[in-house]
Amino acid sequence: MHPPEPTPSNHAAASGGAAVPHRARGFEFQRDTFAFANETRWRYAVDPATGRQVATPRVPVPDYMLHCFVVVRAARQFWLHARFEPTQPAPDEATCRGLIRAVVARSAQTASGAGAKVVIPGYASLREFSVAREALLKAGCGGAWRSYFQRGNWRMIYPFWRSHQASEAARLTTTLRDGGLPIVHVQRFPQLTINHTLLLFGAQETSAGIEFRAYDPNVPEREIVLTFERATRTFTLPPLPYFAGGRVDVYEIYRGWIY
pLDDT over threshold 50, residue 27: yes
Q: Domain limits of the chain? A: 29-148, 151-253
Question: Which residue, 244, 73, 81, 255, is CA-closest to 174?
Answer: 255
32-36, 41-45, 56-60, 136-140: segment of lowest average pLDDT: 41-45
Strands 246-253 and 195-205 turn out to be unpaired
78-128, pLDDT tens digit by residue? 999 999 999 999 999 999 999 999 999 999 999 999 999 999 999 999 999
Mean pLDDT of the chain: 87
What's the pTM? Answer: 0.86
pLDDT at 25: 67
Query: What average pLDDT score do residues 142-159 get?
Result: 73
**190: preceding bond cis by omega (within 30 degrees):** yes
